[in-house]
């Protein structure tokens, strides 16, 4: 008789409970030490956002502003490849707080149309705001509520992120990422990226509903200063640029709002060698831009008689904001 037929129903129940307990234990350890390992981990930053943080100036957007470090009273919540729909959810969470600190939001010319790394939202699937955006992108699953199953298919992805951090491929400070290793610039490869950009649709391609939501949030929260920033992109991104008149009208509308400061640095002149691709600067230039942005924000806060940034000392020789 096969061994499994000798097991009674009680033994099957015991075996099931042991396996379930093992799955729950592994889930708890993985969540605590890998997923939510600290406020600078991807999920840890979302957990940090759910806290009040009364004196904090948050930064929201995509990987283009992921390296913006405002200093000790700032925190960066930007998510790689995330649609503005996710940024909007983060804004809803932030704007529900009784705070008066400024908010930095990336001013985007186009939308990724993707959720980004949905795995890092899994621990927060119980929050109706997070669950809503997961459902919007068809990424919601019943197993996100089942310890031991919820990270199935994502374990290797999240573990790799943890190991890359431990190997010092990058450093995260207050949510802001700094890449410590970067391949040398390759002009031939970059030329190929530029050719792809020239063949792509370029322009102000954000859906009006997304822009409208941002404007509504600005209007309904006059106590918060919104600092909108468009980061530098390669000049090829302006080839056959569509909807420029609409962009100018939206920018004019935003600049007329009393609680908005718009910083459009999209056309800052950088050489090819400054870019990792057509929409991201290389690490050295990114650090320079981050410092320049801190200076600009400090000037804005000073002009508006708002509490200053608590920033690191400015490195001599770094370009100042205009």
Give per-residue pLDDT as tens, 276-295. Answer: 999 999 999 999 999 999 99
The CATH number given to whatever domain includes residue 182 is 3.40.50.1110
Convert 168-197 into a string of H (helix), E (strand) and C (coil).
Answer: CCEEEECCEEEECCCCCCCHHHHHHHHHHH
137 inside domain: yes
Interval 131-177: pLDDT, tens: 999 999 999 999 999 988 899 889 888 988 888 888 878 888 999 99
Query: pLDDT tens for residues 10-38?
Result: 777 877 777 778 878 889 999 999 999 98
What mean pLDDT do residues 262-268 have? 96
Residue 3 lies in a domain: no
Confirm whether 169 is domain-assigned.
yes
As a whole number of angstroms, the distance between CA 46 and CA 124 comes to 8
Residue 37 in domain: yes
Residue 227 placed within a domain = yes
User: What residue numbers bound the domain in which 13 lies?
Assistant: 8-303
How far is residue 74's CA from residue 57's CA, in Å, rounded to a whole number?
4
pTM (predicted TM-score)? 0.90
Which run of H or E residues covers position 81?
Answer: none
Helix (H) or strand (E) holding 24: helix 9-30
Q: Could you tell me the two tokens for 209?
A: 């509903």
- Write down the pLDDT at residue 316: 38
Give the residue, 275 or 24, on which the prediction is more confident. Answer: 275
Instruction: Count CA atoms within 13 Å of residue 96 on its CB side.
Output: 10
Tell me if 277 is assigned to some domain. Answer: yes
For the record, the structure tokens of 200 come out as: 């792509």
Q: How many domains does the chain have?
A: 1
DSSP for 274-299? Answer: GBSSSS-B-HHHHHHHHHHHHHHHHH
């Amino acid at each position: 008789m096969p061994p499994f037929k000798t097991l009674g129903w009680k033994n099957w129940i015991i075996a099931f409970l042991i396996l379930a307990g093992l799955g729950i234990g592994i889930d708890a350890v993985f969540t605590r030490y890998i997923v939510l390992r600290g406020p600078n981990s991807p999920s840890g930053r979302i957990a940090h956002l759910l806290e009040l943080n009364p004196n904090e100036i948050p930064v929201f957007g995509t990987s283009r502003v992921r390296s913006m470090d405002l200093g000790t009273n700032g925190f960066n919540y930007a998510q790689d490849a995330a649609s503005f729909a996710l940024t909007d959810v983060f804004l809803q969470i932030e704007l529900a707080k009784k705070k008066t600190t400024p908010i930095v939001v990336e001013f985007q010319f186009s939308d990724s149309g993707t959720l980004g790394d949905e795995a890092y939202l899994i621990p927060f699937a119980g929050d109706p705001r997070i669950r809503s955006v997961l459902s919007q992108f068809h990424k919601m699953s019943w197993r996100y509520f089942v310890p031991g199953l919820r990270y199935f298919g994502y374990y290797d992805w999240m573990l790799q992120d943890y190991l890359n951090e431990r190997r010092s491929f990058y450093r995260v400070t207050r949510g802001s990422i700094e890449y410590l290793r970067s391949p040398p610039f390759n002009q031939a490869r970059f030329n190929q990226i530029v050719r792809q950009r020239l063949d792509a649709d370029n322009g102000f391609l954000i859906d009006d509903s997304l822009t409208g939501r941002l404007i509504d949030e600005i209007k309904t929260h006059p106590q918060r200063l919104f600092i909108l920033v468009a980061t530098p992109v390669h000049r090829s991104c302006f080839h056959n640029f569509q909807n420029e008149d609409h962009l100018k009208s939206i920018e004019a509308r935003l600049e007329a709002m009393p609680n908005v400061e718009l910083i459009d640095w999209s056309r800052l002149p950088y050489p090819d060698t400054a870019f990792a691709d057509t929409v991201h600067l290389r690490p050295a230039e990114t650090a320079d831009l981050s410092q320049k942005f801190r200076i600009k924000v400090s000037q804005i806060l000073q002009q508006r008689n708002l509490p200053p940034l608590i920033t690191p000392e400015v490195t001599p020789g770094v370009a100042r904001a205009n």
